[in-house]
Amino acid sequence: QAALDDRLNGTLLKRGERTEEGVALEQNFDKSLIRLFNEVIYWEKLRYDIPFVAMEICGRDNKERFRVMRENVMLVVRDYNSILQVLTKDERRLFQERIHFLDKKITPGLGKLKWAGRGIGDYIRECRKHCSDVRQLVFDFKAAKEQIAHACRQVSATSLVHIKKKRVYDDIEFQGEQRAHADQVRRTLGTMHSEVKATMLRAFEV
């Protein structure tokens, strides 16, 4: 049991290397324990004699408990990292306050909480809730950004002059048709402007 406790004295999480996406989270479970768990599974299948210390560490209860715990911690890791991955460098500056708030919620898993400690379930639930809230804000912002970009592409593709091919106009006919087309374009651009303005207001509120 002492050998197991020593290997479980690490923190739940650690920071990875800094990349263009920021500093991601990584799970910090002892890799030698993972190898031992896997080796014991194969030893059992091959019906080898398993050392007592290995059996004590890798008993069915321990193995299943830490498997579930590792998977739950990995959910926090994926939730957090997915937020960093979808944001550009400039967008991360916009969400700096939200990410800083998230970092404070994550901090106990980087220092105080150990694999053998208590309160891990509550910590995971709280982190996932806050990650979900921030991720939804990010996705709403990204959706608004794409809507604005789509509207801008539509504006760019809108022709201000309408001329039919193989058609010869006299002056009055040409002016009349262009006025009608201009009225239509004005209504279309007005609608697009209203949609972009509404979308920008929603994005600002995020």
Q: List, as one string, the DSSP characters of 7-30.
A: HT-SBSEEEEEEETTEEEEEE---
CA separation for the pair 186, 184 (Å, rounded): 5
* pLDDT value at 7 more than 80: no
Which two structure tokens, joined as six digits, stand for 173? Answer: 């006919």
SS3 185: helix
Instruction: Give 50's pLDDT tier (boundaries 50, 70, 90).
Output: low
Distance (Å, whole) CA 177 – CA 161: 9
DSSP class of residue 168 equals -
What confidence score (pLDDT) does residue 158 get?
Answer: 85
Stretch (H or E) spanning 164: none
127-146 as b/e, with b when 16 or more CB fall inside 10 Å? bbebbeebbeebeebeebee
How far is the C-alpha of 45 from the C-alpha of 52, rounded, in Å? Answer: 17
Query: Which pLDDT does position 26 carry in this prediction?
Result: 93
pTM exceeds cut of 0.95:
no
> 83: buried, middle or exposed (CB in 10 Å: 19+, 13-18, 0-12)?
buried
pLDDT band of residue 48 (cuts 50, 70, 90) is low
Sheet strands (E) in the chain: 13-19, 22-27
For tokens 């608004």, the residue is 144
pLDDT-based confidence at 155, cuts 50/70/90?
A: confident
Q: Which pLDDT score, from 0 to 100, does residue 175 have?
A: 84
